[in-house]
Chains A and B, each alone.
Chain A
């Protein structure tokens, strides 16, 4: 890490952007320039598109890029493929996979969850079998965003069936564009389709794309998930600072006024209740960000997801009370009812996605409160002998 000051970084990136931003420059050329200048992944080494800045300075670079509407920075936080390979890949993998990914020439998606392996991800059954220099993959993955545009999938597959479930998993950088990979959108309860199912039938991944050891995939996955959680935390904070905050505070009173029920004592109580959940969560986040006590910060951050689930569900419930029978209607001719129903249903995105509220409570209970884990009777049982 260099000893550049934050102000120095800010001045340099501003200066660079001023000299290089040019609407006439195409996407590929722009990405190359950003990479060569070390702005793609500012906290990494120059060979991976960085310049050895601190993590906080990398955020400064991102803010400066955002200010002028430029893209191409932040791979050190947002590129799960590059982050994972940089930490645990071989030298050959790093040189082959990181630069194109960081430059945006190749795209990735995540192939983790399966229909039979959600909360218990280690119970996954997608298999990879060694065949010469390749592995042959068969199985089904779910909840994959951007599957259609991805060149690679970060894949966890079972390669060992005679060892306990955590010990028979391997982690691959799996080529998506090949026969045997079929992608189908998932129709969500909101009517949207952000996610896909990926059906994999006799598809191949070169042994050269195995990250870590065969059977060592669970450890690699933990690292990849840690990067993902960090990114989600970043995104949540960004969203909060822009528009997610205000609607909560303003819209309930505004919505009740518009619906003519702001004078209703019950509605007023419900509004205050819902807003207090959102507000205390904001205060929790502020405390987490400003405290110097790491345990305190970790506790508050761990609670954030459970709190956000409740805020979203409760706010949608109060909105339903406010609009009353409108909540039966949907579609563009009923925008109020439509929005309330969307929020009601989309709240599950947070209370299920990224680990259900129940799994999250287990994690907080065990890691923060130090409560004992559930006994695991099958901890040492070979995967093929597990009941299912």
Chain B
């Protein structure tokens, strides 16, 4: 197993870095934060044209069939610039879920459209009280022959207001399962949530006898969701590492140019040491993200414990670095106009969206105990 990038992977990173610099500068991020759709359809088409939307989708379904390492490379760059796009939900979580469910007709229908940029899809897995999938969903599924209807509420749904399709976890009499619900289905209402991080939109679904299609069979939802969340977490921690790296750099750059008392504030040890602590956290998060990606690609037996540990670590690291960046900036960092707070908002969301760091740490100890 190696964390060294191949020439191809380096080229991929450079290409994504270039695109992000052009299409996700702060002005664009601010514009999309204020926009209900939360993304730029032209940029989305560009991502599709570059093969990034189908990055992890197998070639038979119109994608590039790339591994976790490529996904981490791309996600790190997106995280650096707070890209506003439904990438995590549509291009990462949904494909991994459909593949884990093993529903080949749904894969054949949805994945090529996702890869081409023609379908925005998301997963409705959480109910009130936890961002993780509930063991016993309240949302219920009722069968009438081949026809299913869903009733209940789902929340913390990524990119809900722009999604064409939702994959919804629900409980039937014979077990939990995933169901596809299309936008505009009868009895479905989608409401935006007011989020702290406006670069990552979320919504709430209310389903009332809403027609749905069963995907992958009853009883498969829990395992498939867990697998999809784990694989998608490889992207999330890479985003966190990228965001932390950028926030650290902002602080160090500012500390080198901002003068008080006749000297750059970075020459004061109190400030210098904060910057070094940020560097340690950002670099460590980056090592963790790369290691976990390589471990998934190599199917290392310890990869889930490594992921659990890394997810707890990267979540806290990004929050720490983003928060400390505000402190290093002082007064200007307390203003809305300065981008420092955007990273803290993103960091605090990323530290919850797939479960909080305590949840991941508990999972780590549980996995280690079983060994």
A positions within 8 Å CB-CB of B: 249, 253, 262, 265, 268-269, 271-273, 275-276, 279-281, 283-284, 286-287, 290-292, 299-300, 303, 306-307, 358, 361-362, 364-366, 368-375
A307-B280 contact in complex given A272-B312, A372-B264, C-beta closer than 8 Å: yes
- Report which of B3, B267, B306, B369 forms a contact with A375, defined as CB distance below 8 A: B267
Find out whether the CB atom of B279 lies under 8 angstroms from the CB atom of A275. Answer: no
- Report which of A273, A287, A358, A362 forms a contact with B3, defined as CB distance below 8 A: A287
A371-B272 contact in complex given A253-B365, A283-B288, A287-B287, C-beta closer than 8 Å: yes
A303 vs B284: C-alpha distance when bound (angstroms): 10
Find out whether the CB atom of A306 lies under 8 angstroms from the CB atom of B280. Answer: yes
List, in ascending order, chain B residues with CB within 8 A of A374's CB: 267-269
Nearest-Cβ distance from residue B284 to partner chain A, whole angstroms: 4
B236-278, CB under 8 A of A: which get 1 and which 0? 0000000000000000100110000001101111001101110
Closest to B266 in A: A371
List, in ascending order, chain A residues with CB within 8 A of B269's CB: 358, 361-362, 374
A2 vs B280: C-alpha distance when bound (angstroms): 40
Q: List the one stretch of B39-47, B143-151, B182-190, B356-364 in contact with chain A.
A: B356-364
- Report which of A286, A361, A370 forms a contact with B273, defined as CB distance below 8 A: A361
Closest to B280 in A: A303
CB contact list, B283-304 vs A, under 8 A? 283-285, 287-288, 290-291
A369 vs B279: C-alpha distance when bound (angstroms): 8
Find out whether the CB atom of A372 lies under 8 angstroms from the CB atom of B3. Answer: no
List, in ascending order, chain B residues with CB within 8 A of A273's CB: 312, 361
A251 vs B37: C-alpha distance when bound (angstroms): 50
A164 vs B99: C-alpha distance when bound (angstroms): 70
A280 vs B286: C-alpha distance when bound (angstroms): 9
Nearest-Cβ distance from residue A119 to partner chain B, whole angstroms: 12
A307 vs B362: C-alpha distance when bound (angstroms): 23
CB contact list, B338-371 vs A, under 8 A? 358, 361-362, 364-365, 368-369
Find out whether the CB atom of A268 lies under 8 angstroms from the CB atom of B276. Answer: no
List, in ascending order, chain B residues with CB within 8 A of A300's CB: 283, 287
Can you list 15 residue pairs at the A/B interface with Cβ under 8 Å?
A262-B369, A275-B309, A276-B310, A279-B288, A281-B284, A361-B269, A361-B272, A362-B272, A364-B276, A365-B266, A368-B276, A372-B266, A373-B267, A374-B269, A375-B263
Q: Is the interface of A mostly helix, strand, loop or mixed?
A: helix
B1-44, CB under 8 A of A: which get 1 and which 0? 01110000000000000000000000000000000000000000
Find out whether the CB atom of B255 lies under 8 angstroms from the CB atom of A272. Answer: no
Does B313 sit at the interface, judged by CB under 8 A? Answer: yes
Find out whether the CB atom of A283 lies under 8 angstroms from the CB atom of B273. Answer: no
A6 vs B271: C-alpha distance when bound (angstroms): 47
10 other A-B residue contacts (CB within 8 Å) besides A287-B287, A369-B256, A370-B256? A262-B369, A275-B364, A279-B309, A280-B309, A292-B4, A299-B279, A361-B273, A371-B252, A373-B267, A374-B268
A344 vs B256: C-alpha distance when bound (angstroms): 36
Interface-centre pick from A262, A275, A307, A368 (highest chain B CB count, 10 A)? A275
Nearest-Cβ distance from residue B22 to partner chain A, whole angstroms: 24
List, in ascending order, chain B residues with CB within 8 A of A262's CB: 369
Q: Is the interface of B mostly helix, strand, loop or mixed?
A: helix
A283 vs B306: C-alpha distance when bound (angstroms): 11
Nearest-Cβ distance from residue A253 to partner chain B, whole angstroms: 6
List, in ascending order, chain A residues with CB within 8 A of B2's CB: 290
A352 vs B230: C-alpha distance when bound (angstroms): 40
Find out whether the CB atom of A290 lies under 8 angstroms from the CB atom of B3. Answer: yes
A303-B287 contact in complex given A361-B272, A371-B267, C-beta closer than 8 Å: no
Find out whether the CB atom of A253 lies under 8 angstroms from the CB atom of B266. Answer: no
Find out whether the CB atom of A369 lies under 8 angstroms from the CB atom of B252. Answer: yes
Interface-centre pick from B252, B273, B365 (highest chain A CB count, 10 A)? B365
Find out whether the CB atom of B361 lies under 8 angstroms from the CB atom of A365. Answer: no
Find out whether the CB atom of B362 lies under 8 angstroms from the CB atom of A361. Answer: no
List, in ascending order, chain A residues with CB within 8 A of B290's CB: 283, 287
Interface-centre pick from A361, A366, A370 (highest chain B CB count, 10 A)? A361
A280-B287 contact in complex given A361-B276, A371-B267, C-beta closer than 8 Å: yes
List, in ascending order, chain A residues with CB within 8 A of B306's CB: 279
Find out whether the CB atom of B288 lies under 8 angstroms from the CB atom of A268. Answer: no
Find out whether the CB atom of A284 lies under 8 angstroms from the CB atom of B369. Answer: no
List, in ascending order, chain A residues with CB within 8 A of B273's CB: 358, 361-362, 365
Find out whether the CB atom of A276 lies under 8 angstroms from the CB atom of B313. Answer: yes
Find out whether the CB atom of A365 lies under 8 angstroms from the CB atom of B272. Answer: yes
List, in ascending order, chain B residues with CB within 8 A of A291's CB: 4
- Report which of B264, B277, B283 forms a contact with A284, defined as CB distance below 8 A: B283
Nearest-Cβ distance from residue A13 to partner chain B, whole angstroms: 28
A280-B272 contact in complex given A268-B362, A268-B365, A375-B267, C-beta closer than 8 Å: no
Find out whether the CB atom of B361 lies under 8 angstroms from the CB atom of A268. Answer: yes
CB contact list, B107-162 vs A, under 8 A? none
Find out whether the CB atom of A307 lies under 8 angstroms from the CB atom of B284. Answer: yes
A217 vs B369: C-alpha distance when bound (angstroms): 55
A280 vs B268: C-alpha distance when bound (angstroms): 28
List, in ascending order, chain A residues with CB within 8 A of B256's CB: 369-372
A291 vs B365: C-alpha distance when bound (angstroms): 30
Nearest-Cβ distance from residue B247 to partner chain A, whole angstroms: 13
